[in-house]
């Protein structure tokens, strides 16, 4: 039993991908600023890649915040593969290691912490892990599941069995009509569900991860989600009837662009001098996140479409965007052709770029962090989802919140479509409605984070409930 004055100590294990580490670090900082002691555990691979990108990171990414008084400790653990293994090129092997091998390493490191005599009250771990509730139980900790995507995607996965029973998933001849029976979701077309739910094969390593992870999550004591209640009211109300489920997002540092903890896994190019010379709202920011790949054909059409549009752009062209085996995927002469129009960088501080007044639109793969960051910066989106939850996020952005438009509907986009849609979004008149709507959404999110707002209240309630539950553990 925890005595009342004792600080709560949580071990925090994020999923070892950029889009999960970023919000996890922010949540860790938030909880530490509420008085928690946090032991944050990155994989050695994530740590090494981020250290290469930021030579000043050293062995502890939280060293600076500890100096400012927050009690965050830092450790690393193997994900089961050699550090130098190309996880981008060997995606399935990487996922298989996370599914089958990582739990042994995670358990080992948790055991080390407990054996050192430290009192740990809870384990905060990404919902996509398949093991946290079992490890938490073994060491007498509560399990807090951290979901870094939308409530809508959470509830789709939570109801996998219902989808199966109704013939929408994992069947030989699946239904193609809309899904209308998930609590809190009026209706959703199959094309708007996640890529995994649309696939005919339902036994891949990613499917095994999702189904095992959501079985494990059903045993979580609490779920924290990086969304805002007002954005997904009905879905969240339905989930809250089943679990201790809290929408506490968007989880950003108070300064939004603060980089006191460097988490980028590639070295960031400075775009500010270039952006500083551009008119307000005149530049399109283009990025497909940290993980998704484009085919060479898609990339060429997008490149030629950007050039055709004549709109200024900053394009994050990750070194492995097509594959680590295709280091120069752009059409010959493209860089020279657009030298006066665009800036092409391997990686940047996306928050800083999106927050720049020159940015007027975001051509995005609709990763959930990118959507949240774009909304926070009042930047409307041109949506080009590639896989996983990005199709569902696109539905929310385009169909529900009306803060963006589609670039394509899952078929290969042409350069003419790219040019037409870029100009539509960026146009002073044609883009106005999206710019106005996204300002509204920003206001809603901002109010949610203020004292008395939904996300602030949910965070307070979560901490209160957590403390009460710990008190009750005999």
Q: Which residues bind ligand UDP (CB under 6 A)?
A: 18-19, 22, 264, 287, 289-292, 316, 347-351, 367-370, 373
Smallest distance, Å, CB 20 to ligand UDP?
7
Q: Which is nearer to ligand UDP, 74 or 368 (CB)?
A: 368
**What phi and psi, each to the nearest 5 degrees, are found at residue 372?**
-60, -45
Q: Which is nearer to ligand UDP, 159 or 365 (CB)?
A: 365
Under a CB-based contact definition with an 8 Å cutoff, are residues 407 and 418 in contact? yes
Q: Which is nearer to ligand UDP, 159 or 351 (CB)?
A: 351
Q: Which is nearer to ligand UDP, 168 or 351 (CB)?
A: 351
**In Å, how far from its chain's centre is CA 74?**
21
Whether the bond between 250 and the residue before it is cis, its omega within 30 degrees of 0, is yes
Q: Which is nearer to ligand UDP, 136 or 345 (CB)?
A: 345
CA separation for the pair 197, 216 (Å, rounded): 19
CA separation for the pair 192, 183 (Å, rounded): 17
Question: Which tokens sit at 155?
Answer: 């509830």
Helices (H), 276-414: 296-309, 334-337, 350-354, 368-376, 390-394
Burial class (CB in 10 A: 0-12, 13-18, 19+), 350: buried
Q: Which is nearer to ligand UDP, 250 or 431 (CB)?
A: 250
Q: Which residues contact 112 (CB under 8 A, 6 or more apart)?
A: none
CA separation for the pair 48, 344 (Å, rounded): 25
Smallest distance, Å, CB 69 to ligand UDP?
26
CA separation for the pair 230, 209 (Å, rounded): 29
DSSP 57: G
Q: Which is nearer to ligand UDP, 52 or 138 (CB)?
A: 52
Smallest distance, Å, CB 95 to ligand UDP?
14
Q: Which is nearer to ligand UDP, 221 or 373 (CB)?
A: 373
Burial class (CB in 10 A: 0-12, 13-18, 19+), 444: middle
User: Would you call 315 helix, strand, or coil by DSSP?
Assistant: strand
Smallest distance, Å, CB 300 to ligand UDP?
21
Question: Which tokens sit at 455?
Answer: 């996300």
CA separation for the pair 169, 160 (Å, rounded): 8
- The closest of 237, 227, 170 to 376, measured between CA atoms, is 227
Smallest distance, Å, CB 382 to ligand UDP?
14
Q: Which is nearer to ligand UDP, 110 or 366 (CB)?
A: 366
Smallest distance, Å, CB 287 to ligand UDP?
5
DSSP 398: I
Smallest distance, Å, CB 177 to ligand UDP?
29
Residue at token pair 């490890």: 135
Smallest distance, Å, CB 165 to ligand UDP?
31
Q: Which is nearer to ligand UDP, 110 or 358 (CB)?
A: 358
**Residue 200's CB: how many other CB atoms inside 10 A?**
9
CA separation for the pair 435, 366 (Å, rounded): 17
Smallest distance, Å, CB 140 to ligand UDP?
33
Smallest distance, Å, CB 316 to ligand UDP?
4
Q: Which is nearer to ligand UDP, 364 or 419 (CB)?
A: 364
CA separation for the pair 56, 358 (Å, rounded): 30
Smallest distance, Å, CB 35 to ligand UDP?
26
């Amino acid at each position: 039993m925890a005595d009342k004055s004792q600080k709560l100590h949580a071990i925090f294990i994020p999923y070892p991908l950029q889009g999960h580490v970023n919000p996890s670090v922010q949540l860790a900082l938030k909880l530490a600023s509420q008085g928690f002691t946090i032991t944050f555990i990155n994989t050695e691979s994530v740590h090494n890649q981020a250290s290469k990108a930021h030579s000043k990171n050293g062995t502890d990414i939280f060293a600076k915040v500890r100096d400012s008084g927050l009690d965050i400790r830092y450790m690393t653990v193997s994900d089961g593969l050699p550090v130098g293994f190309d996880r981008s090129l060997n995606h399935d092997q990487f996922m298989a290691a996370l599914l089958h091998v990582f739990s042994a390493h995670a358990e080992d490191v948790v055991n080390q912490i407990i054996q050192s005599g430290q009192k740990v009250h809870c384990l905060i771990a990404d919902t996509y892990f398949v093991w946290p509730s079992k490890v938490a139980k073994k060491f007498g900790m509560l399990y807090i599941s951290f979901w870094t995507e939308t409530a809508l995607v959470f509830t789709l996965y939570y109801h996998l069995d219902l989808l199966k029973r109704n013939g929408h998933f994992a069947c030989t001849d699946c239904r193609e009509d809309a899904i209308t029976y998930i609590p809190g979701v009026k209706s959703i077309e199959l094309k708007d569900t996640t890529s995994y739910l649309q696939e005919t094969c339902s036994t891949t390593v990613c499917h095994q991860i999702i189904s095992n992870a959501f079985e494990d999550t059903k045993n979580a004591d609490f779920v924290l989600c990086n969304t805002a209640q007002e954005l997904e009211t009905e879905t969240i109300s339905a989930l809250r009837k089943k679990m201790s489920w809290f929408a506490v997002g968007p989880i950003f540092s108070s300064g939004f662009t603060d980089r006191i903890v460097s988490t980028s896994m590639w070295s960031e190019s400075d775009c500010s001098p270039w952006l500083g010379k551009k008119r307000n709202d005149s530049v399109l920011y283009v990025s497909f996140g940290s993980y998704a790949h484009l085919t060479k054909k898609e990339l060429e059409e997008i490149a030629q479409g950007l050039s055709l549009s004549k709109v200024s752009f900053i394009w994050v062209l990750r070194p492995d965007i097509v594959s680590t085996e295709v280091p120069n995927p752009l059409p010959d002469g493209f860089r020279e052709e657009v030298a006066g129009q665009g800036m092409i960088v391997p990686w940047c501080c996306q928050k800083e770029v999106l927050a720049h007044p020159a940015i007027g639109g975001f051509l995005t793969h609709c990763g959930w962090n990118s959507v949240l960051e774009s909304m926070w910066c009042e930047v409307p989106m041109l949506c080009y989802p590639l896989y996983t939850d990005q199709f569902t996020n696109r539905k929310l952005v385009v169909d529900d919140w009306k803060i963006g438009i589609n670039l394509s509907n899952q078929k290969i986009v042409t350069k003419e479509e790219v040019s037409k849609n870029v100009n539509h979004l960026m146009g002073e008149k044609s883009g106005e409605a999206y710019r106005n709507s996204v300002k509204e959404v920003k206001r809603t999110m901002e109010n949610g984070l203020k004292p008395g707002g939904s996300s602030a209240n949910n965070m307070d309630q979560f901490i209160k409930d957590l403390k009460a539950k710990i008190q009750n553990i005999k």
